[in-house]
Structure 1
């Protein structure tokens, strides 16, 4: 297993307030690495929790979109954690495998979910988000859903970039 580009901070080096924040969440490497930037830790963890607790999107769709971001960025860490969450949200192993294989034919899902996947794919690939696709997404999920899908994609894209920069690997045991 490869090592992180910088070491995880030792708990003894962290401010007690940061340790308190970390103790309120599962002991994942991502949070601990983020602890080097104490001013970002709480907002970061709040955004993670908002993505799980505050979205109107069905959990299975949320996880499908996160897996698609992880696949696009080849983020082992993101894929590892969200494959588990996707199963918990009701996605089958076949659906997960298809989401993680860009050469697979599209999932045989209802049009709304296929539209969301296509939107995320185009967004990640820097392709045109034409008026028709945007209209289909808004028709399916409303303005709130459009913003949630866009923000979720952007957030997990940022997470994937951070994971690449730090070379964090999944924890050896399941922690979430």
Structure 2
């Protein structure tokens, strides 16, 4: 670990306020690492909470996209946390394994994975993929999709760079 999680008993009032955006979430190594920079945590978590709680994107699609990002970015921390969230959204173990291979039995799920791959490789979607996403997602949902992929690519970069480790073996 390059940045050790800051124990909760060392959080000042600014840190507690910054991390309160994730109220209800259990304290974990990611939040405890963000505690080193309360101003950044407060700004970032407000955006991240939108993506997790108030985004227009269907939860299942969001989790498939995040899993694909986590796999592509080799982010074990992000992957492990979002596998359980994906399962809660109805994604099966078989579908989760397929995400790692870039495969899906459902045509729209394949479009989602393709879109993640395009964004990760080229920082944009081709017209065909944009249109395919539009078969089930409206413009706001497609915007939330792009921002979700970008946010979780950033998080994977941060988690991997800071050396954030899983809370369990």
Q: TM-score, normalised by structure 2?
A: 0.88
The 5-angstrom pairing of residues 111-150 of structure 1 reads: 111-126=107-122, 129-150=125-146
Aligned residue for 2:8? 11
Deviation of the 1:133 alpha carbon: 1.9
Runs of 4+ aligned structure 1 residues displaced above 6 Å come to: none
Unaligned runs of 5+ in 2: none
Aligned length, in residue pairs: 166
Alpha carbons 2:73, 2:156 under 8 Å: kept = yes
**Take 2:99 and 2:80, find their aligned partners in 1: how far apart are those partners?**
13
The 5-angstrom pairing of residues 1-176 of structure 1 reads: 4-22=1-19, 24=23, 25-102=25-102, 106-109=103-106, 111-126=107-122, 129-172=125-168
Unaligned runs of 5+ in 1: none
Cα distance per residue 1:108-159 (max 9 Å; x no partner):
11x3332222111111122763222222223431211211110000000000
**Take 2:43 and 2:67, find their aligned partners in 1: how far apart are those partners?**
22
Deviation of the 1:20 alpha carbon: 4.6
Q: TM-score, normalised by structure 1?
A: 0.85
After superposition, the CA RMSD in angstroms is 2.0
